[in-house]
Every structure is written in C-alpha cells, then in structure tokens.
C-alpha cells in the first residue's frame, strides 16, 4: 500500500532538492553591485564581479574596502575577515568568467532594454543549472525571465541600498519561476543575514510601490509651491519620524531611478495617480540626478548641501 508523505516531509524533500549556491556572479559594479558583492564575500562565497569598464571595477573594490573598514572600526568584522572577503572577489570584463557560477545576480541600470541586452550576452556562458536573479526594483520578472533561455531559473532578488546596512531583500517569482530556484535564493538571503519579503510580480513590487509614489507626491508638493525643499523634508523628518526627507531620499536613490519606477507604475497599472511629476522629469532631463551627479534637489558641491529650488 502506498502512503503519501506528510506535507512537512514533502517540503523538506523540496528544500533538499534545491540547488546549492557555492559561487555567485554579479553584473554591474555600481553602488548596488558592489554592495551585493560585499555581503556575499563576507558570507564566505567566492564572487565574480563584472562590469564593462575596468575603471568601475577598480572603484567598486576601493568602495568595498572603505565600507569594510567602517565595519572593522565598529567591530562588526575583523581585519582578517575583511582581507579574506576582498580576496574572494574576482573582477572581470569577460562574461566567460561566469562559467562556474551557480547564480548570477544582475544589478545593471533600471532600464529593461539594457537588462535584456545583458541576458543575451550572458546566457551562452552559463552552465545549464545556473540561476539568474535580477536586482530590478520595478520591472516585470516574468517578462525579464522570458527573454532568457531559463525562465524557470529566473527570479527577482531586490536588495535595498546600501546593501551592507539594509536588512531586507524582496524575492519576486515570475510566473515560470520554479520552487527550487525560490528555495535556493531564499537560503542565500538567509546566509547573507537578510530578512526576505516575498512579493507578487506586480509593477514596483512592495517597497517601491509604496515608497516612490510618496517621493513623487513630495515633488508635486514642491512643483505646486506647497512648500520649499527644506520645508518638505523637515516636515516628513520631524512629522513622520523619517530618517531622510523624501526629496533628500530621492537624491540618494537617484532621480533617474525614481522616474523609471514611476514610469513602470504608470504604464503597468494605467492609473493617473502614478503620473510622474513634470518637475521630476525636468530634473532628469537636466542631468540633475541627485548625489551621483552632485546635483538634484540639493547641490552637493557645497557643504552643507544647498537646496536647488
């Protein structure tokens, strides 16, 4: 007589069947990519970090070193742990270096056409069992996965910025993502000492579905003359106990990223409440992208930063 295993046993079997992630690839050496590499290396994982520019890779390694120095000074890690972690990171401009990776995390700019172009170059170099995760903060995981040869092994793994400090990782399954891929990335997040929140594959997921429209509304308040930059940021910091005001936060995230997320929400949900503020569009068109361009709602060439409006 056949006896079905209890649900708990079935779940345990599924977990045991999940692929083990022993080597991680990261695409993009910007703020998110170097942060993801940082936490993976500190967790004992060999990391292959790729960017199209050697200069960006050198900058990322220097940034990782400085950020780990802060952790050493705060006695969160030892100097030896820092040295061992940095030694685990290999930098490259060649996609062939991902041949032995079990998971590749794409952390490129928040533009769908850029991500699709990356996957086209990436997938021929991967072993059949390799999974792909996108650090996208808003774009459809189902659609991105469908542009690869392995949609069942494709998942959203949205880290928060700055990655070494922020505890959350959003996990987003596309319609084709299989259970072993979900379980493997869930286990990786736990190994990185992160807490996960599982989101359905809707535009902007959980965090940015709520956060970025708030920022957009703050830009509307500035645009309509409801308050100045300083007044709006002070009101939210002291009135809602936020560590940063919404305009300061927008500069930290990057105004181009905020605009991209609002466009994804507006196009994906067809609701006028997600219409990007014309002032946000104007700042991005001017190249005033926030901290990374030294000017956004604040001018960062001065100390302290001065409001630009």
Q: Answer whether residue 19 shows pLDDT above 90.
A: no
For 210-224, what is the mean pLDDT?
A: 98
For the stretch 271-306, pLDDT in tens is 999 999 999 999 999 999 999 999 999 999 999 999
Q: Answer whether residue 49 shows pLDDT above 90.
A: yes
pLDDT of residue 10: 47
Q: Assign 15 a pLDDT band (cuts: 50, 70, 90).
A: very low
Given 170, 199, 248, 260, the catalytic residue: 170
For 178-190, what is the mean pLDDT?
A: 97
Q: Assign 166 a pLDDT band (cuts: 50, 70, 90).
A: very high
Give the Cα separation of 291 and 300 in Å (integer): 7
Tokens linked to 255:
């105004």
Q: What percent of the chain has pLDDT over 90?
A: 91
Give the Cα separation of 41 and 36 in Å (integer): 9
Model's pTM, two decimal places? 0.86
Neighbouring residues of 308: CB distance < 8 A, sequence distance ≥ 6: 229, 288, 295, 296, 297, 298, 299
Q: Where are the alpha helices (DSSP H) in 99-245?
A: 112-122, 141-146, 179-191, 207-223, 229-239
Mean pLDDT of the chain: 94
Mark whether 100 and 249 lie in a shared domain: no
Given 137, 140, 199, 216, the catalytic residue: 137
For 187-197, what is the mean pLDDT?
A: 97
Q: Please report whether residue 1 resides in a domain.
A: no
**Residue range(s) defining the domain that contains residue 222:** 208-307
pLDDT of residue 27: 98
For the stretch 55-67, pLDDT in tens is 999 999 999 999 9
Mark whether 60 and 175 lie in a shared domain: yes
Q: Please report whether residue 43 resides in a domain.
A: yes
Given 135, 138, 208, 260, the catalytic residue: 208
Q: Answer whether residue 258 shows pLDDT above 70.
A: yes
Is position 216 annotated as part of the catalytic site? no
Given 37, 158, 248, 260, the catalytic residue: 158
Mark whether 142 and 267 lie in a shared domain: no
pLDDT of residue 173: 97
CATH number at residue 273: 1.10.1040.10
Mark whether 107 and 141 lie in a shared domain: yes
Mark whether 159 and 290 lie in a shared domain: no
Q: Answer whether residue 4 shows pLDDT above 90.
A: no
The residue from 178, 199, 220 where one domain ends is 199
Mark whether 110 and 234 lie in a shared domain: no
Mark whether 194 and 212 lie in a shared domain: no
Contact 30/52 with Cβ under 8 angstroms?
no
Higher pLDDT, 109 or 67: 67
Is position 208 annotated as part of the catalytic site? yes
Is position 81 annotated as part of the catalytic site? no
Q: Please report whether residue 33 resides in a domain.
A: yes
Q: Please report whether residue 37 resides in a domain.
A: yes
Is position 73 annotated as part of the catalytic site? no
Q: Assign 9 a pLDDT band (cuts: 50, 70, 90).
A: low
User: Could you tell me which of 280, 139, 302, 301 has the C-alpha nearest to residue 218?
Assistant: 280
pLDDT of residue 54: 95
């Amino acid at each position: 007589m056949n006896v079905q295993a209890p649900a708990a046993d079935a779940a345990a079997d599924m977990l045991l069947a999940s692929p083990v992630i022993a080597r991680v690839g990261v695409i993009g050496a910007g703020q998110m990519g170097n942060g993801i590499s940082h936490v993976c290396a500190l967790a004992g994982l060999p990391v292959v970090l790729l960017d199209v520019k050697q200069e960006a890779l050198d900058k990322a390694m220097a940034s990782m070193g400085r950020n780990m120095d802060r952790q050493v000074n705060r006695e969160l890690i030892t100097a030896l742990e820092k040295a061992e972690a940095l030694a685990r990171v290999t930098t490259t401009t060649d996609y062939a270096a991902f041949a032995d990776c079990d998971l590749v995390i794409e952390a490129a700019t928040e533009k769908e056409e850029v991500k699709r172009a990356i996957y086209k170059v990436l997938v021929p170099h991967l072993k059949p069992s390799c999974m792909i995760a996108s650090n996208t903060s808003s774009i459809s995981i189902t659609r991105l996965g469908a542009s690869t040869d392995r949609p069942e092994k494709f998942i959203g793994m949205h880290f928060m910025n700055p990655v070494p400090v922020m505890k959350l990782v959003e996990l987003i399954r596309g319609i084709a993502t299989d259970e072993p891929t979900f379980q493997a990335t869930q286990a990786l997040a736990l190994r990185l000492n992160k807490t996960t929140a599982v989101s359905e594959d809707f535009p902007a997921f959980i965090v940015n579905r709520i956060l970025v429209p708030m920022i957009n509304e703050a830009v509307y308040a500035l645009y309509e003359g409801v308050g100045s930059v300083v007044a709006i940021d002070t009101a939210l910091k002291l009135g809602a106990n936020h560590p940063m005001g919404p305009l300061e936060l927008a500069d930290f995230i990057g105004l181009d990223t905020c605009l991209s997320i609002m466009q994804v929400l507006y196009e994906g949900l067809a609701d006028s409440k997600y219409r990007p503020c014309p002032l946000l569009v104007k700042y991005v068109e001017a190249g005033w992208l926030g901290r990374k361009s030294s000017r956004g709602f604040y001018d960062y060439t001065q100390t302290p930063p001065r409001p630009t409006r």
